[in-house]
Amino acid sequence: MSKESIVTKQQVTVPDIGGAEGAEVIELLVAVGDEISVDQGLIVLESDKASMEIPSTVAGVLVELLVTEGQELAEGAPLAVIEVAGETAAVPEPQAVDSETLAEVITESAPAESAPSVAAKAADAVSSRVPVPDIGTDEAVEVIELSVKVGDTVAEGDSLVVLESDKASMEVPAPFGGEITEIQVSEGDSVKQGDALLLMKTSAAPQQDPVVAEPPKPAEAAPAIAPAPKPQVVAPLEADAVESSGGIYAGPAVRKLAREFGVTLAEVSGSGPRGRLLKEDLQKYVQDRLNKPATATAGGAGLPLVPEMDFSKFGEVDITQRSKLDKLTASNMQRSWLNVPHVTQNDSADITELEAFRASLKVEAERRSVKLTPMPFLIKALAVALRDHPKFCSSLADGGDALVYKKYIHIGMAVDTPAGLMVPVIRDADKKSVWDLAEEILELAGKAKERKLSPAQMQGGCFTISSLGNIGGTGFTPIVNTPEVGILGVSRADIQPVWDGQDFAPRKMLPLSLSYDHRVINGGDAGRFLTQLVALLSDIRHLIM
C-alpha cells in the first residue's frame, strides 16, 4: 500500500439495525461541509424498537448527505459521502467499523483469537451470556422490564429486556435466535454496559457477522458471551415527561408519540406480541378519546373534552378552514382565560362635556385631516391612570414570585379587521397629545386592516383597550391580554337620565368594563383605578394636571 497522502471519497451505509425492516430518519446530526470524526453520530434512526445514532465509520469532510428526514432506511442503504484525507494504508475500511460496533463476540477466558474461531466458539457453546450492550453511557441504567422468561424461545432481534436511563429507554434485542435458559437480572436492577443480562441456548450459530475479540479479562467460570446486541440506543426523554415504565411494554418511538399526545401509557392496551404497545394502539386510543362524548372525566390538562359533532345530521352545513390569525387569537384567548383569574369591574363616565369639546374641534380635525373619535381622549386618560397606578402596567415574573413594573406606558388597541383581531401598540402614550394620538390611532388601525403592521408595532404593550363603541352594547367582559394584567373594554356611549340632586338631566354616559388579573390586582386597586379614569373622562381638564 502506498504511503502517499491522497483524498478518497468513502460512502457510509446503514449498519445492521437489529433486524428492523426499516427505520425512519428522525434527525440529521451533521451538514455538508462538516468535519466528521470516526464514531461521530451522522443521523438518528428510529425504528419501532429503538432510536439510534448512526456513527460515521471514517473521519473526514462530509461532502454529500444522501438521506433526508422522514426517509425510511434499511440495512446497507447509503447515508453519506465523506472525503477522507490520509495515507492510503491508513484509510480504514468503512464496513469494518460497522460490523465491529454492531456485533461483538467477547471471550473472557482466552486471549484474542481470530474472528472466525471466536464465532465458532460462541456457536458451539451450550449457553451464551447476553450482556448489556454499549448503551452510550458509563452510568448505570435501570432494568424496567423483562420481556422474556426462562424457557421462552426467541428469534434474533426479539426484545429481551427494556433498559431506561433518565435520558433514554432502549430495548435489548436477542443477538441470535434461541432459548432463554437463565435470567440474571430482575426488574428494578441497575446495570452497566457489559453486565450479564441472561443466558441463551443458541438454536443457530451467531456466525455470519464479522467478529472482533476483546482483550482478555480476568478468568471467570462464565459461559461464552453472545454478541453484544446493539450500539448507542438513544431515545432522549424530557426529564419531567418520563413515563413510569413499570410493566409497560413499549418501544421508544411509541413512548415518544405518547408524550407528544400527552397520553399515559398505562391507560393504553397493547396489541403487539406479549402485549407490546404499538403506535396503532396509541392512535386508536387517541381517536377513541376524541370520539367519546364529553363527560365529567378530565381530558388533557384536566379539562373536560368538548365532543366533535356531525352537525350535518341536523341540516345543511358549510365547513371552512380558519385563518392562522383566528387560530392564534383563539389559542391566546384560551391561554389567558385559563391562566388568569379574571374579575371585571363596570362603571360609566359622564362624557357630556368631553363630547361637546370634541364636537367643537371638528373643523380643526378636518384641517388636520384627522378623525377625532372618543378613542384618543380615552387613551390619554388611560395613560394618566396607568401612570398613577403602576401595578396596572406590571406583569408577573419568576413563576409568580415577582412583579415587573414597566416604566413606560405602551397601550395596545384591539382592532377589528376582516382577517381577525389585531392589537397594535401605541408607544409612550403618556407623552403624546390628543392630536398625536388621534393620528396614530388612524394610522395603526389602517395598517392593521391592510395587514401591514410590523411585528414590532404589535409588541411591548403594558395594557390594552378594546372599544366596541362604534358597534354597540352596554358592557362586556374583555379577556386580559396576558402577560398584561388589565384590559379596558369600552361600550357604546348613550344619552341617559342622570339624577343631579334635584332633577334628571340628559347626560352622555360611556360604559367602561375593566377586567383584571386578580393574582396581581385587588378589587380595591381596580376600584380606585376605574374611579380615577371615570373622573378624568368626566372632566378632561384634569388631563392637563
Q: Which residues are catalytic, by number?
A: 518
Report CA 301 to chain centroid distance, whole Å: 15
- Going by C-alpha positions, the residue among 263, 227, 268, 543 that lies closest to residue 385 is 543
Q: Name every residue whose Cβ is closer than 8 Å to that of residue 500 and which is 6 or more positions away in sequence.
A: none
Q: Minimal distance in Å, beta carbon 421 to ligand CAO?
A: 5
Q: Minimal distance in Å, beta carbon 438 to ligand CAO?
A: 8
Kindly tell me which of 159 and 538 has the beta carbon lying closer to ligand CAO.
538
Kindly tell me which of 102 and 445 has the beta carbon lying closer to ligand CAO.
445
Distance CA 292, CA 322 (A): 24
Residue 404, classed as helix, strand or coil, is strand
Q: Minimal distance in Å, beta carbon 420 to ligand CAO?
A: 9
Q: Minimal distance in Å, beta carbon 510 to ligand CAO?
A: 6
C-alpha cell at 382: 388611560
Q: Minimal distance in Å, beta carbon 260 to ligand CAO?
A: 31
Kindly tell me which of 46 and 517 has the beta carbon lying closer to ligand CAO.
517
Q: Minimal distance in Å, beta carbon 442 to ligand CAO?
A: 8
- Going by C-alpha positions, the residue among 100, 117, 86 that lies closest to residue 8 is 86
Q: Minimal distance in Å, beta carbon 513 to ligand CAO?
A: 11
Kindly tell me which of 177 and 475 has the beta carbon lying closer to ligand CAO.
475
Interacting residues toward ligand CAO by CB under 6 A: 373-375, 413-416, 421, 441, 445, 466-470, 490, 492-493, 510
Burial class (CB in 10 A: 0-12, 13-18, 19+), 407: exposed
| Cα–Cα separations (whole angstroms), residue 517 to 37, 396, 475, 480 | 55, 10, 18, 7
Q: Minimal distance in Å, beta carbon 480 to ligand CAO?
A: 11
Question: Terminal CA-to-CA distance of the chain, rounded, Å?
Answer: 93
Return the amino acid letter for 330.
Answer: A
| Cα–Cα separations (whole angstroms), residue 296 to 292, 302, 304, 378 | 12, 10, 6, 44
Kindly tell me which of 133 and 486 has the beta carbon lying closer to ligand CAO.
486
Kindly tell me which of 211 and 490 has the beta carbon lying closer to ligand CAO.
490
Phi, psi of 499 (to 5 degrees): -75, 120
CB 529 within 8 A of CB 514: yes
Kindly tell me which of 211 and 468 has the beta carbon lying closer to ligand CAO.
468
- Going by C-alpha positions, the residue among 397, 404, 352, 377 that lies closest to residue 488 is 377
- Burial profile 362-396: b = 16 or more Cβ within 10 angstroms, e = fewer: eeeeeeeebebbbbbbbbbbbbbbbeebebbbbbb
Q: Minimal distance in Å, beta carbon 384 to ligand CAO?
A: 19
Distance CA 230, CA 16 (A): 9
Dihedral over alpha carbons 27, 28, 29, 30 (to 10 degrees): -170
Kindly tell me which of 386 and 413 has the beta carbon lying closer to ligand CAO.
413
| Cα–Cα separations (whole angstroms), residue 188 to 142, 169, 440 | 6, 14, 66
Return the amino acid letter for 358.
Answer: R
Kindly tell me which of 22 and 475 has the beta carbon lying closer to ligand CAO.
475
Strand partners, 143: 163
- Going by C-alpha positions, the residue among 373, 411, 377 that lies closest to residue 392 is 411
Kindly tell me which of 280 and 366 has the beta carbon lying closer to ligand CAO.
366
Distance CA 266, CA 249 (A): 10
Residue 296, classed as helix, strand or coil, is coil
Residue nearest to ligand CAO (CB): 469
Q: Minimal distance in Å, beta carbon 531 to ligand CAO?
A: 19
Q: What is the DSSP letter of 163?
A: E
